[in-house]
Amino acid sequence: MEKIELFSARVCPFAHRSRLALMEKNLPFTLIEIDLRNKPDWYPQVNPAGAVPALRQGDFRLRESLIINEYINECCAESALLPANAQQRAEARLWIDYAGSSFVPLFYRLLKAQQAEEQGAVAAELCRVLAVLDDELKRRTGEGPYWFGWQVGLSDIALYPWFERWAVLEHYRGLRIPDHLNALRDWIETMQGRDAVKLGSEPTDYYIDQYADYAAGRK
């Protein structure tokens, strides 16, 4: 297989998704850190949209974390990150879509909201989404600690990076993950125990510092 290069930024949760997928698949790759505040002149040749993550493999270029992750998963059959069953695979993709359309946008809306009233409303909406995630994990109790059973998969990976950055919401907006969402809290703890997560994790203070501009409405 041709060498895979992943263009990433430590701070970026989208890039974090693709780093996790590559590590969980045990695929060798070269990680290229892009400074988002001072992007290299050549970067548009890798990704014309200018964003991370981007993947390069010979002449092949790919962008968008979720598409990259599907590709990574299909690069080899070992350590499959989607269920073998077609119906479960479709459900896994629904949760991946839910992560992208509901959970992730609310994370940023809350962080960017400057008025107390808006912050309260978005926090309440985000808590409803967390409860949906928790309900789903509770419904699957006994079927394994991950979104789809006993093996980590693309649904877990699509969601987890924002939980690694949750301290940012706690710090700037005072929003803790509610104690009663114990299935969700257990899932986060399980993810934190994975080697791929431990190897790529950053200290809480780093995230708090990096997201200061968002929280102050400067971004």
Provide the binding-site residues for ligand GSH, judged by CB under 6 A.
Answer: 12, 14, 36, 50-53, 64-66
Smallest distance, Å, CB 37 to ligand GSH?
8
Q: Kindly tell me which of 157 and 181 has the beta carbon lying closer to ligand GSH.
A: 157
Smallest distance, Å, CB 129 to ligand GSH?
18
Smallest distance, Å, CB 146 to ligand GSH?
21
Q: Kindly tell me which of 128 and 219 has the beta carbon lying closer to ligand GSH.
A: 219
Smallest distance, Å, CB 131 to ligand GSH?
25
Cross-sheet strand order for the sheet of 4-8? 29-33, 4-8, 54-57, 60-63
**Exposure string (b/e) for 140-152, b if CB count within 10 Å is 16 or more?**
beeeebbbbeebb
> Could you tell me the two tokens for 168?
């940012």
Q: Residues 147, 89: contact at Cβ < 8 Å?
A: no
* Residues with Cβ within 8 Å of residue 202, at least 6 apart in sequence: 10, 11, 164
Q: Kindly tell me which of 12 and 196 has the beta carbon lying closer to ligand GSH.
A: 12
* Residues with Cβ within 8 Å of residue 206, at least 6 apart in sequence: 10, 11
Q: Kindly tell me which of 190 and 204 has the beta carbon lying closer to ligand GSH.
A: 204
Smallest distance, Å, CB 171 to ligand GSH?
18
Q: Kindly tell me which of 65 and 119 has the beta carbon lying closer to ligand GSH.
A: 65
